[in-house]
Chains A and B, each alone.
Chain A
Amino acid sequence: MKNPLIKRIPRELKSEFGKQLAIFLFFVMVIGAVSGFIISADSMIKSYNDSFGDYAVEDGNFELRDKADSELLRSIEEEGKIKVYENFYKQEETGSFESKLRIYGERKEIDRVDIWEGSMPAAEDEIAIDRLYAENHKLEPGSTIKLDGKELKVCGIAALTDYSALFENPTDLMFDNDLFGVGVMSDAGFNALPDSHLHYIYSWHYNTKPADDAEAKTMSEELIKVIAPKAQLAGFIPEYANQAIVFTGNDMTGDRTSIIVFLYITVAILAFVFSITIDSTITAEAGVIGTLRASGYSRGEILRHYLIVPMMTLTAAAIVGNVLGYTLLEKFMAKAYLDSYSLTTYKVLFSADAFLYTTLVPMAIMLAINVITLMSKLKLSPLRFLRRDLSRRKKKKSFRLNTRIPIMIRFRLRIIFQNLPNYITLIIGSFLANAILLFGMIFEPMLVNYSDTVKENMLASDIYILKTDADTSVKSAEKGQMISLTSEVEGYVKEDIPIYGIKRDSRYLDFDHDTDGLIFSTAYQNKYKLDVGDTVTLHQQYGDKEYKLKVGGFYEYPATLAIFADADKFSELFADEDSMTMIFSDQKLDDIDSRNIAATITENDLTKTSRQLTRSMGSLMTIFLAFGIVMFMLVIYLLAKIIIERNAQSISMTKILGYTDREINGLYIRATTIVALGSIILTIPLANLLLDKVFEIVFRSFPGYFEYSVSPLLLLRAGLLGTGVYIMIALLLIRKVKRIKLAEALKNVE
């Protein structure tokens, strides 16, 4: 015979339909989103990983100041044990809209191109351009684009596998697929473009592929020793350090891990909510359980009975969530990546991991937490259940409260202490929900603020780095010197640091030139937590020499890691280095030969981080916001509801005694209100600290610096939003209290 208790399940589901539906929908939302994310991420990660072989992605590239002759290349190939390919590009400002387009010729043997739509260029005036750049500028096959006065026809929408993230410079903090794009032309078309911005890039494949990044690092260090003495290097970037190639893979893998951890935390919190719910049901049904146990029902049978509802809800949600994950949500999640990265074409693959992570593991978490909670309770003897004596300690003792405190306040305090486990879970849930909600709220204003700060603190509207010294007729322009050294600190990404030699009476930078040490940008100070007097070790980009630089002060420059030195001190310190001339200017310099410009730094370069993050993450923020609110509501409502249900008899008794609804709400709901609002006040600053720490740790893996800054007003707004959400919950709770019947107290509790 089937266990007759099973007949209670549909009735239980029916009696708590609203609650079960809310939990079900929440799980569907979380599991669906995570499953959709994992499926799309796994499919794309596979396609991305396969692209290295399928499209012969380079093992690295170096740039030479001048074109190498065949003899030089042969000797590099022989000594470096590599195969070198010309991979020249020309970078032009587009005439059609403000942006830079980097154009390559045909790529047959290395960094081959994947065509999403249209065809590869054949005619001299045809160009295939990157998909994201095309989307951002509403270009499609058949459109035209102006380049250096020449009109080109877009023949194809492409993905260049060495530009899955459109980093203009491999060491930039962030890519920018709006103001920077890549494209390919036929060799004839490429050669027909002017040579003014021609870059001599040589990409290589090792004869024997390195086994991992560590070996790739060793091999690249050996290779640079081969190339550096033979030619004048303008750049050297092995594949593992090239953000344009590796950023996408790192980001997708990192996101995948974060989102899975996030799922587990959510499930664990809800599992605790469930266990508290079940615990409260067991307390309410102690007499029934005692009778069943006394009649011969085993602990296991009772345990299984109380596990059915939460496990059923989760299983149903997992099924629906996974179906949604594979259908609607996969496309939605994929869009977030496709909007950020220039990925090659991909196919949606079945992911066993998605099933494991979104279904089996959450079920295991839910099962484990509930079994542990229930077993500890069900260990009690049937007699204890029959006597409704379920407390662990033999007799629960009362602690004293000062009798001078008015009775209503003491009453409220007792309610809070009585429901401490609920309230602790509520605070933890609220903390997580607030962190998500805050993230959704702060992201965009923070980027705007970052962008504004960057603009306000620019050294000059244009900074030119020249290949060789040159003069300008612009009177306000100011020359200085610059070198780049490399910072390699454990736990942080390896990055190039520009050091500027600034003349004493500079009109662009005002700092103490006589200080003992060098002046570091505030971005540098904040990222590496520097103090005046600290010593920073940097080394040559393509050599072994180390520099120990003393921190003499800081300069308000929040966007970029940079070091400033008095011009004389600069010359003295870096006499052995091949420094470059740089020019600060508050206007565009037209009288400098563009072929002599190694790089320019403008407002657009400094604000690309905020632009790109807004573009790729902006739409996700609404989801974070909605998710945070729903989670906050669910956790608070479920736990507060349990508190009211647990105290239903006392509430009924206070009604009988003559307490008004207002007074009862003042006791039972205000206690929850105090904790809920207290948790908002407490957890929003904590969530802010958490996000600050997370941002700090995350951005250690990126070159440059992104300042986490949230205005107090925004925190206040987050608090007000939480309070608004709580008011809605409180109204539901008030309704619930009002519905408790006076007759509740008359129920036979024995």
Chain B
Amino acid sequence: MFLELNSITKHFGEGESRVEVLRGIDLSVEKGEICVMLGPSGSGKSTLLNIIGGIDSADTGYIAINGEKTADMNEKELTRYRRKHLGYIFQQYNLIPNLNIKENIEVGAYLSDSPLEVDDILKTLGLYEHRHKLPNQLSGGQQQRTAIGRAIVKNPDILLCDEPTGALDYNTSKEILKLIAEINEKYGSTVIMVTHNDAIKNMADRVVKLRDGVIRKNYVNETKIAAADLEW
């Protein structure tokens, strides 16, 4: 198993305000799978994504990538883990505002020993003519494509996507999802995507539904369709 989550628990707050966000999550994801996590607000899906990403830590349980457990890692090792294995895409893009588009992608490339060609990525993402612009000169969709470029340029093993279409319109959202599927296809990256949008499950290899910190459903999608054919 490529990604393994075992008995993950997490709480926030103490005393009366203590909230159990994750109540024992067990999950396995194969290499190259697209795993879509669905659930209402407060279900714990973003917290789980952050724990997988090494941004947050679990109270109990462990995560292993190729057998390497993150719970045993100190801060430096966690940094190396993120650097080596992960690419992150956020709803709000989180681009570095004072760097231009190409430089934002180069910031990702710098972290890898064998990054992908930045100009190729810019062309693939349709950003080549915008490469000298600052993020605030681009549309939301273009900014999200830049964020995808930054995430994939280091050719990560896992692409973590936190509501990647949450701030985008219908058509742009579909474009972005198509792009993620293409990347998964082309580079074989494992994609873990958290979303509110139920329709997106149709492009997934694996669907995980969470509610109140517990996995309610976890199944392999036998009727996977192309991202371009998604409707909602």
Contacts and interface: CB of A to CB of B under 8 A. Distances in A.
Interface of A: 389, 391, 395-398, 400, 403, 407-408, 410-411, 414-415, 417-418, 649-650, 653-661, 742-743, 745-746, 748-750
A411 B103 contact: yes
Given A408-B110, A410-B103, A746 B90 contact: yes
Interface of B: 46, 50, 53, 55-56, 76, 79-84, 86, 88, 90, 92, 94, 96-100, 102-103, 106-111, 132-134, 136-137, 150, 162, 167
A491 B109 CA distance: 65
A658 B79 contact: yes
A403 B102 contact: yes
15 contacts: A398-B100, A398-B137, A411-B96, A411-B99, A414-B99, A650-B96, A655-B79, A656-B53, A656-B88, A656-B94, A657-B108, A659-B83, A660-B79, A742-B56, A743-B50
A321 B120 CA distance: 64
Contacts of B110: 407-408
Contacts of B134: 395-398
Given A397-B134, A417-B98, A658 B111 contact: yes
A749 B92 contact: yes
B127 to A, nearest CB: 14
Contacts of B76: 660
A657 B99 contact: no
B150 to A, nearest CB: 8
Given A398-B132, A407-B106, A414-B103, A653 B79 contact: no
A654 to B, nearest CB: 7
Nearest to A649: B94
Given A407-B106, A748-B92, A658 B98 contact: no
Contacts of A398: 100, 132-134, 137
A323 B207 CA distance: 71
B111 A742 contact: no
Given A396-B134, A398-B133, A407-B103, A658 B53 contact: no
Contacts of A418: 97-98
Contact of B86 (A391, A658, A746): A658
Contacts of A657: 82-83, 88, 107-108, 111, 150
Given A407-B106, A657-B108, A745 B132 contact: no
B80 A658 contact: yes
Given A414-B99, A417-B98, A742-B55, A658 B90 contact: no
Contacts of A397: 133-134, 137
B77 to A, nearest CB: 11
A404 to B, nearest CB: 12
Nearest to A655: B79
B55 A658 contact: no
Contact of A743 (B55, B133, B150): B55
Contact of B94 (A395, A410, A415, A653): A653
Contact of A656 (B55, B92, B98, B133): B55
B167 to A, nearest CB: 8
B115 to A, nearest CB: 11
B173 to A, nearest CB: 17
Contacts of A410: 99, 103, 106
Contacts, number: 91
B55 A746 contact: yes
A659 B100 contact: no
Contact of B98 (A407, A415, A659): A415
A92 to B, nearest CB: 76
A396 B53 CA distance: 33
Given A396-B134, A398-B100, A659-B111, A745 B90 contact: yes
B107 to A, nearest CB: 7
Contacts of B109: 407
Contacts of B136: 389, 391, 395-396
B122 to A, nearest CB: 12
Nearest to B106: A407
A661 to B, nearest CB: 8
B132 A658 contact: no
A650 B97 contact: yes
Contacts of B98: 414-415, 417-418, 650
Nearest to A410: B103
Nearest to B105: A407
Contacts of B108: 657
A418 B136 CA distance: 14
A750 B167 CA distance: 10
Nearest to B138: A395
A408 B103 CA distance: 9
A417 B103 CA distance: 15
A411 B50 CA distance: 26
B132 A654 contact: no
A496 to B, nearest CB: 64
A411 B106 CA distance: 10
Which among B88, B108, B109, B133 has the highest number of chain A CB atoms within 10 Å?
A: B88
Which among A742, A745, A748, A750 has the highest number of chain B CB atoms within 10 Å?
A: A742
A689 B108 CA distance: 46
A397 B137 CA distance: 7
Contacts of A417: 98
B59 to A, nearest CB: 16
Given A397-B137, A656-B82, 6 more contacts: A389-B136, A407-B106, A654-B96, A656-B55, A657-B88, A745-B90
A649 B93 CA distance: 11
Nearest to B137: A395
Contacts of B111: 657-659
A410 B106 CA distance: 10
A748 B92 CA distance: 8
Contacts of A749: 92
A166 B81 CA distance: 77
Nearest to A658: B83
A219 B111 CA distance: 85
B79 A407 contact: no
A415 B99 CA distance: 9
Contacts of A389: 136
A395 B56 CA distance: 35
B133 to A, nearest CB: 6
Nearest to B108: A657
A291 B55 CA distance: 30
Which among B50, B98, B137 has the highest number of chain A CB atoms within 10 Å?
A: B98
A146 B99 CA distance: 81
B90 A400 contact: no
Contacts of B99: 410-411, 414
Nearest to B96: A650
A389 B137 CA distance: 11
B37 to A, nearest CB: 16
Which among A400, A415, A657 has the highest number of chain B CB atoms within 10 Å?
A: A657
Contacts of A414: 98-99, 103
Nearest to B76: A660
A400 B110 CA distance: 19
Nearest to A395: B137
Nearest to B100: A398
Contacts of B46: 746
Closest CB pairs A-B (n = 7): A658-B83, A418-B98, A658-B82, A407-B106, A742-B55, A398-B134, A398-B100
A396 B150 CA distance: 22
Contacts of B162: 746
